[in-house]
Homo-oligomer: A and B are copies of this chain.
Amino acid sequence: MEYLDMSREQLLAEQSTLKAQYDSYCGEGLNLNMARGKPCAAQEQLSLGILDALPSSADLSNEGNVDLLNYGCLEGLKEAREFYADILGISADKIFVCGNSSLTLMFDYVMQCYAKGVSEEAEPWCKQGDIKFLCPAPGYDRHFGILEFLGIEMITVPMTETGPDMDVVEELAKDPLVKGMFCVPKYSNPTGVTYSDETVRRIAAMETAPDFRVIWDNAYCIHDITEPGDELLEFLGACEEAGHPERGIEVASTSKVSLPGGGISVLAANEPNYSWIRKRLQKQTVGPDKLNQLRHIRYFKDKAGVLAHMKKQAEIIKPHFDVVLDAFEADLKPAGVARWTNPNGGYFISLDVLDGCAQRTWELCKNAGVTLTDCGATFPYGKDPKDSNIRIAPTYPTLEDLAKATEVLICSVKLACLEKLLAE
Q: Copy number in this complex? A: 2
Closest to A53 in B: B56
Closest to A396 in B: B70
Query: Do residues A51 and B44 form an inter-chain contact, with CB atoms below 8 A?
Result: no
Query: Do residues A261 and B71 form an inter-chain contact, with CB atoms below 8 A?
Result: yes
Query: Do residues A100 and B280 form an inter-chain contact, with CB atoms below 8 A?
Result: no
A104 contact set on B, CB distance < 8 A: 284-285
Docked complex: A104-136 residues within 8 A CB-CB of B: 104, 107-108, 111, 114-116, 124, 126-127
A116 contact set on B, CB distance < 8 A: 149-150
Number of interface residues of A (CB under 8 A): 58
A62 to chain B, nearest CB (A): 13
Distance in angstroms between the alpha carbons of A261 and B76 in the assembled complex: 11
Q: Which of B47, B52, B70, B71 contacts A55 (CB 8 A)?
A: B52
A383 contact set on B, CB distance < 8 A: none
Query: Do residues A149 and B51 form an inter-chain contact, with CB atoms below 8 A?
Result: no
A330 within 8 A of B: no
Distance in angstroms between the alpha carbons of A250 and B80 in the assembled complex: 33
A12 contact set on B, CB distance < 8 A: none
Query: Do residues B44 and A70 form an inter-chain contact, with CB atoms below 8 A?
Result: yes
Which of A72, A99, A288 gathers most chain B CB within 10 Å? Answer: A99
Distance in angstroms between the alpha carbons of A114 and B115 in the assembled complex: 8
Closest to A40 in B: B70
A290 contact set on B, CB distance < 8 A: 261-262
A19 within 8 A of B: no
Query: Do residues B54 and A51 form an inter-chain contact, with CB atoms below 8 A?
Result: yes
Distance in angstroms between the alpha carbons of A288 and B261 in the assembled complex: 6
